[in-house]
Amino acid sequence: MKIINFLNTGISRAVKSWKGILIIWIFSLILAGFISFPLSSVLKRSFGNSMVTERLMDGLDVEVFADLGSNLSAFLFPGLFFVFLIGFILTSFLNGGLFDSFREDAGEFSVSAFLSSGARNFWSFLLIAIIIRMIIYFTGVLFVGIPLILLLMENSTPGNSPLIILIITSSLYFVMLPVLLLVADYARAGKAANPGWSGFKALGFGFSKTFDRFGNSYLMMIILTLAHVLFILLVINTIPFWKPQTGKGVFLMFLITQLLLIINLALKAWRYASVTASGEPYCRKNAPVSDLAD
């Protein structure tokens, strides 16, 4: 029952911070604009009055883009790298505001408080995001990538063992993922409640908190991630296949993708807020000076 309480609290706190969710959405749209506007103009200029784009009506056609040669990829790949990098840094900043707004004693949501706590928590949040992301990638290679390569390199039959190994290790990986998310979320909730903490201290706190009340929080995280994964699967299996044939249809598609993106952000906020609620209280609110120097 505790879990349901936390999830409910998570919903109400996420709803209370709806403005924060919208701010993140707007930033993501602006960032995407850094690529989509030049892309759109390169495409328009390159195709001119050609009708070859008709061939895109039914879906991607590599031959259509091949004629654009390297001018497309020349800006696209560096551009994407830049936007993804900035995106990672920016979301760390904005998450700082979001976690702060989810605190039990956060009071009314205010944009200025959101941004200032984002700034205050920025370096620690960035550190936590980088470390957890690295662990996720590294263990992904270890638990899924290498067994997959072994399976592909495997030469003969003896009992399909590489396939079984792959199934076991990748299951382990997916079992482990929610743990890593819990660590990241507790670390950030702890940091938001204790502004004096360093990123590493917060991360250590995240680990200990995760295993402190593992049973409950793990189950809760499973529910949260499952809901999010199902939602993402829904998006992946619909939007890419939707091929509106008119300008109005395309605009409608754009509105719906943005709506889906907001729901995606809300689901994430729900996770952050629920985990925050489940971990309360977070140490002393007024930490002694000696702790600040930690």
| Residues between 141 and 200 with contacts to other proteins, criterion CB under 8 A | 148, 151-157, 160, 162-163, 181, 184
Residue 138 makes contact with other proteins by CB under 8 A: no
**Closer of 52 and 219 to other proteins (Cβ):** 52
Q: Which of 11, 16, 39, 144 binds other proteins (CB under 8 A)?
A: 39
Residue 263 makes contact with other proteins by CB under 8 A: no
Residue 226 makes contact with other proteins by CB under 8 A: no
Q: Cβ 32 to other proteins, closest distance in Å?
A: 4
Q: Cβ 124 to other proteins, closest distance in Å?
A: 13
Residue 19 makes contact with other proteins by CB under 8 A: no
Q: Which of 4, 15, 52, 226 binds other proteins (CB under 8 A)?
A: 52
Tell which residue, 121, 103, 127, has the closest CA to residue 10: 103
Amino acid in the structure at residue 139? T
Backbone angles phi, psi at 198, to 5 degrees: -85, 165
Using an 8 Å Cβ cutoff, are 243 and 58 in contact? yes
Amino acid in the structure at residue 242? W
If you search the block for the tokens 């940091």, which residue do you land on? Answer: 191
Residue 244 makes contact with other proteins by CB under 8 A: yes
**Closer of 113 and 135 to other proteins (Cβ):** 135
Give me the half-sphere count of Cα atoms (radius 13 Å) on the Cβ side of residue 87: 16
Extended strands (E) in 159-245: none
Q: Cβ 273 to other proteins, closest distance in Å?
A: 15
**Closer of 4 and 254 to other proteins (Cβ):** 254
Q: In angstroms, how far is CA 66 from the centroid of its own chain?
A: 32
Q: Cβ 87 to other proteins, closest distance in Å?
A: 3
Size, binding site for other proteins by CB under 8 A? 81
If you search the block for the tokens 């700082």, which residue do you land on? Answer: 96
Rounded to whole angstroms, what are the CA distances from 215 to 36, 175, 184, 224, 274? Answer: 44, 13, 17, 15, 15
Interface positions, 60-99, toward other proteins (CB under 8 A): 60, 62-64, 66-69, 80, 83-84, 87-88, 90-92, 95
Q: Cβ 213 to other proteins, closest distance in Å?
A: 21
Q: Which of 2, 19, 243, 284 binds other proteins (CB under 8 A)?
A: 243
Counted residue by residue, the chain has a size of: 294
9: Cβ contacts below 8 Å, ≥ 6 apart: 273, 274, 277
**Closer of 90 and 277 to other proteins (Cβ):** 90
Residue 268 makes contact with other proteins by CB under 8 A: yes
Tell which residue, 188, 218, 215, 219, has the closest CA to residue 204: 188
**Closer of 84 and 214 to other proteins (Cβ):** 84
Residue 222 makes contact with other proteins by CB under 8 A: no
Rounded to whole angstroms, what are the CA distances from 48 to 4, 51, 54, 57, 66? Answer: 57, 9, 13, 17, 15
Residue 45 makes contact with other proteins by CB under 8 A: no
